[in-house]
Chain A
């Protein structure tokens, strides 16, 4: 079946430092990979969308300078949170869409910033 793995599941970093998270789609061809963030008391916000043969598109309020993403092949993506501060804490989810357009999500990386 279609699965999405994310690593790490939880991470703690000091304010001002950076952390990298990874996402891998297994069992299907991912035509796009999207990164979302669920902040405390909020719903999911799209950070950026990476589609095959297209540049990575960032949503308003999110920039490549702050959340650089690497998407070297269809099944693997990584995102770094640079210079993390308290407002960056939350659950970061990676969603991959297959040919049927249904999205599959990983378990998320929960970021705590001290």
Chain B
């Protein structure tokens, strides 16, 4: 059981470039999340999804877009990369069993924008 997987592990982007961070979970979880973690800080929620076809903004959504066409996949899109988006990005998932839901995290994608 792989859990939550993320690709790539590391990427360097130039300002203005675009990229998609991939996230896949094999636990049949309805809820999926994207967080970013800046150095020395906790994680902040970017976007979340409560099921295929349903997404919504979190605390820091500017500069990002998401889609959820399947239960398993929840890609995060950066259209015009900016240095402020240099961070580590974590994807997470949880079951839709109620409000007390443990979230399981992927290993992260480290992004550097120069």
Partners in one complex: no
Chain B residues proximal to chain A, CB less than 8 Å: none
